[in-house]
């Protein structure tokens, strides 16, 4: 009965378009009101415990770094360098979009921030040069999803917090999959543009490449600083987030001089508001997850899955299908908090490392960022162009298909995600 009430209230609140964090919190609170053995004080304690974690400090810190670097002219310099690097390819602005998103993804850790930073520059530029608006939206949204795959990654931080997996290894494990998906997106976009007759490209200039590289050198160094420190054991992922924020302030204020110290309070407020939404969802979802645990819902679901099959190959396929469906209807943070504990019940039967398991889950949820109704990258891209979502959904299907092919590769061939982490102690 408790399980039925919990899920029914949650489903009704979703139907009436209640914000996800509030819907999860209200449905959880309803259980406390009907179970006499659960004190409302426990609800408050569980809310606090859900975010009382040192690793979760990385969430607001990476958001601060992303906002500061975007305001400090970082994204503009990255796009200029990417255009000099690959803009000469026929249909090259699509490749510029992917390369720019890969670089900016190595700074922000957020798919929405990645999409907004790159899309605000490239969507108007692509439309002006004759690209279809829906195609421009689709390639920007698909590229933006790389923000949660290429390290640093906020969803990977949350997964590490939930499971105890090494966040440093999760970051490193996302590098090769992120690069493979990036090149896949470039390939499919160039094929589509070639078939449509869009073969324009800027003239390659080694001089311009050198100049834009020099202008972007501080931005391009950011992922190197973060990853080399983590790989070298100099600092943890959370400490890396604080260093990235300080580095962003130094570059924006001292090097580029496009920021002043007076600009920082508004950027910190903006980052804090964004981070508070994520942390509020985490807090409420942790209560929901705790209720599911005491009601043994994950065990019941795991038992039901094991009745279907115990074959690791089929279990992985079922998990991928379920996560893609869930990612379509649920926000990424909520999906992680609610369903990672559930899948941890079948994890021992999968025969894979916990780090590979985390990369698979994040890749699945990245696909959910590209599908309506809650595809955040899709929504951000369309809001920049002012276009309707429906045409963009049709245009993004080939990109989602290629990301799914990469997902299957990561799922069933462990070296793709585990080769680089194997060098970490």
The residue among 390, 395, 376 whose CA lies nearest residue 136 is 395
Q: How many CA atoms lie within 13 A of 321 on its CB side?
A: 7
The pLDDT score that the predictor gives to residue 230 is 75
CB 222 within 8 A of CB 107: yes
DSSP annotation of 18 reads: -
Which tokens belong to 353? 């490392």
Indicate the helix (H) or strand (E) that contains 121: helix 111-128
The pLDDT score that the predictor gives to residue 199 is 64
Residue-by-residue DSSP string for 54-79: SGGGHHHHHHHHHHHHHHTTHHHHHH
Can you list the residues of the chain whose pLDDT is less than 70? 1, 36, 199-202, 373, 425
Predicted TM-score (pTM) of the model is 0.84
Classified as helix, coil or strand, 377 is helix
The answer to whether the Cα torsion of 336, 342, 345, 348 is positive or negative is negative
What span, in angstroms and rounded, lies between the C-alpha atoms of 343 and 48? 24
User: For the CA atoms of the chain, what is the radius of gyration?
Assistant: 21
Classified as helix, coil or strand, 150 is coil
Which tokens belong to 262? 């007076």
The answer to whether the Cα torsion of 351, 357, 359, 364 is positive or negative is positive
332-343 and 20-34 are packed helices; what angle lies between their axes, rounded to 10 degrees? 50
CB 113 within 8 A of CB 66: yes
């Amino acid at each position: 009965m408790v399980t039925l009430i919990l899920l029914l209230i949650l489903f009704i609140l979703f139907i009436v378009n209640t914000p996800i964090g509030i819907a999860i919190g209200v449905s959880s609170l309803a259980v406390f009101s009907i179970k006499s053995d659960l004190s409302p004080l426990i609800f408050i304690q569980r809310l606090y415990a859900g975010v009382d974690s040192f690793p979760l400090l990385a969430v607001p810190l990476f958001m601060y770094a992303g906002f500061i670097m975007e305001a400090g002219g970082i994204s503009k310099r990255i796009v200029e360098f990417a255009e000099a690097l690959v803009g000469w390819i026929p249909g090259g602005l699509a490749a510029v979009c992917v390369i720019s998103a890969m670089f900016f993804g190595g700074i922000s850790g957020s798919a929405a921030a990645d999409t907004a930073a790159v899309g605000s520059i490239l969507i108007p530029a692509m439309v002006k040069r004759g690209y279809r608006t829906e195609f421009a939206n689709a390639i920007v949204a698909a590229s933006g999803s790389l923000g949660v795959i290429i390290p640093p990654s906020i969803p990977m931080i949350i997964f590490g917090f939930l499971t105890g997996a090494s966040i440093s290894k999760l970051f490193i494990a996302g590098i090769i999959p992120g690069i493979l998906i990036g090149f896949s997106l470039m390939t499919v976009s160039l094929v589509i543009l070639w078939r449509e007759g869009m073969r324009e490209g800027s003239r390659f200039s080694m001089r311009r490449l050198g100049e834009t590289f020099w202008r972007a050198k501080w931005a391009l160094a950011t992922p190197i600083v973060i990853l080399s420190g983590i790989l070298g054991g100099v600092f943890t992922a959370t400490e890396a987030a604080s260093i990235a924020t300080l580095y962003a302030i130094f570059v924006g204020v001292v090097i580029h001089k496009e920021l002043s110290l007076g600009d920082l309070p508004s950027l910190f407020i903006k980052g804090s508001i964004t981070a508070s939404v994520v942390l509020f969802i985490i807090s409420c979802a942790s209560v929901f997850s705790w209720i599911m645990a005491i009601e043994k819902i994950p065990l019941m679901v795991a038992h039901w899955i094991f009745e279907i099959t115990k074959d690791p190959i089929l279990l992985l396929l079922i998990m991928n299908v379920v996560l893609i469906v869930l990612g379509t209807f649920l926000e990424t943070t909520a999906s992680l908090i609610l369903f990672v504990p559930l899948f941890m019940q079948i994890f021992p039967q999968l025969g894979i490392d916990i780090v590979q398991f985390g990369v698979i889950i994040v890749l699945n949820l990245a696909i959910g960022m590209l599908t309506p109704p809650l595809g955040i990258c899709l929504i951000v891209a369309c809001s920049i162009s002012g276009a309707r979502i429906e045409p963009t959904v049709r245009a993004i299907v080939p990109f989602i298909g290629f990301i799914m092919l990469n997902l299957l590769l990561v799922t069933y061939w462990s070296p793709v995600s585990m080769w680089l982490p194997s060098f970490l102690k």
